[in-house]
Structure 1
Amino acid sequence: MSQNKDVSRATLRIKDLANEDRPREKLLKKGTVSLSDAELLAVLIGSGTRDMSVIALAQHILKANGNSLQELAKRSVQELQRFRGVGVAKAITIVCAMELTRRRAYETNSKKELVDSSAKAYALLRPDLTDKLIEEAWILLLNRSNYLIKKVKISSGGITATIVDPSSIFRLVLEHQATGIILAHNHPSGDHSPSNADIQLTHRIVNAGKLLNIDIMDHIIFTDSSYFSFSDQRILYP
């Protein structure tokens, strides 16, 4: 009797499920594509609570994030720990898995990248500016043939703004002997429209670049699903 009580109070693990409901066994027999998002997440979590199976816990976490992996990827370790049954170790596992997925999805080749369009600049910086809850500013440093030298984060700030120091930008340009740059920053709000401050800053940097013979090729405003290009919209120059 006491043994049954112990079992009922124990944490429900994947191994306690029926064979056909075990994600690991299902993966081995049918491959990863046979697993739902909840089942994949359940494998990462490993165990549920005394009142909720690991599959149910995974479904609960996904539902709380709109059944969106993109939204789940934005959650911090602390936010994930708010779910009953998710301790620091499980939260870290989920966060790391989301980060690996992001890096793999947007991994670039080690060869030199030609950056000759806003779309290519967006693809290069997307792994750095996707799923961010605060604004960050980055630059792409380019050589005379528009090949990437380096991408650099130059500032990070709050939800609605980040401070960009033009002098720090041109210091990096000179250090890396770049001849052109592309500016970029994200809008966590999801609205990629430039603000008046964005436009004023862009024109200030463009004018400074003219004095130093540095080509400001574009300023791109990121959201998770789209972008705005000053160059494409022909408002790069004052």
Structure 2
Amino acid sequence: MKELMVRDLPDMERPREKLLLKGAQSLSDAELLAILLRTGTKEDSVIRVAEKLLSVYKNESLGEFANLSVNDFSKIKGIGKVKAITVLAALELGKRLAEAPSIERKKITSPQDVVNYFMPRFRYEKKEHFIVVLLDTKNHILATPVISVGCLNSSIVHPREVFREAIVHFAAAMILVHNHPSGDPTPSKEDIHVTHKLIEAGGLMDIKVIDHIIIGDNCYISLKEERVID
């Protein structure tokens, strides 16, 4: 039996036409991927290629797809380098849109305010990112610079790097944020050591460290709420 190609489908079942008529939210994951991939192979329709991609990586969430490489995508017949790059670019754009509107100038009133911004960005990261949320005297955000990428330790996260950013942005206070790629936000001894080291440095410079928030997979721990920070 001849493979059913997209052009052979009724208009209402073609991904692009379906999007125009019913909106993007009406499309399945495979249909959305098919629009990005554009074409299939001689054996498979583009929808079938998209379904195969989803099937091979069925244990990965769509968010974690962004951590796959071009080579990972290219293992699926019908997905070359250009198509893989297109999908990765779309996934990255989606992650950035999830962060909008910008947190800058937003007033922080609770740990959840910080978590709501950083969770979409970091819950699927495979490496630890250490960020400082720099605040003015009214707890409005001035900037959120990334200080380090890699395993958190006192040699990588040095007070001079953290407080250089604070001084440049005239920050009155800060909140420390980092993610645990394991998905478990339980603080390690090194996490607590780094926290106390930065609190001590902040006391000398009159820049208060308000909290240290550790982000896991759809969960977090605030060291302030856990009373690790006074």
Sort the Cα spacing of 1:30 and 1:173 in 2 relative to 1 into closer, same or farther, 3 A. Answer: closer
| Counterpart check, 1:169 vs 2:162 | yes
| Counterpart check, 1:62 vs 2:54 | yes
Tell me the equivalent position of 1:125.
118
Equivalent-residue separation in structure 2 for 1:125 and 1:27 (angstroms)? 30
Could you tell me how far 1:12 is from its partner in structure 2?
8.2
* Partners of 1:13 and 1:47 within 8 A in 2: no
Unaligned residue ranges in structure 1 (runs of 5+): 1-7
Equivalent-residue separation in structure 1 for 2:103 and 2:97 (angstroms)? 14
Q: For 1:139-197, what per-residue CA distance to the aligned partner results, in whole angstroms no more than 9, with x for missing partners?
A: 0111111110111000112xx54621111111111121111011111111111100111
Sort the Cα spacing of 1:56 and 1:161 in 2 relative to 1 into closer, same or farther, 3 A. Answer: farther
User: Under a length normalisation based on structure 2, what TM-score does the superposition of the two structures give?
Assistant: 0.89
| Counterpart check, 1:14 vs 2:11 | no
Could you tell me how far 1:98 is from its partner in structure 2?
1.1
User: Under a length normalisation based on structure 1, what TM-score does the superposition of the two structures give?
Assistant: 0.86
Unaligned residue ranges in structure 2 (runs of 5+): none
Identity rate of aligned residues, in percent? 40
Equivalent-residue separation in structure 1 for 2:38 and 2:5 (angstroms)? 6
Could you tell me how far 1:51 is from its partner in structure 2?
2.4
SS of corresponding position for 2:145? strand
Instruction: Provide the alpha-carbon RMSD of the alignment.
Output: 2.2
**Which residue identity is paired with 1:36?**
S
Tell me the equivalent position of 2:132.
139
1:86 to 79, 84, 92: 79
Question: How many positions carry a matched residue from both structures?
Answer: 226
Equivalent-residue separation in structure 1 for 2:19 and 2:75 (angstroms)? 29
Could you tell me how far 1:32 is from its partner in structure 2?
2.2
Sort the Cα spacing of 1:206 and 1:112 in 2 relative to 1 into closer, same or farther, 3 A. Answer: same
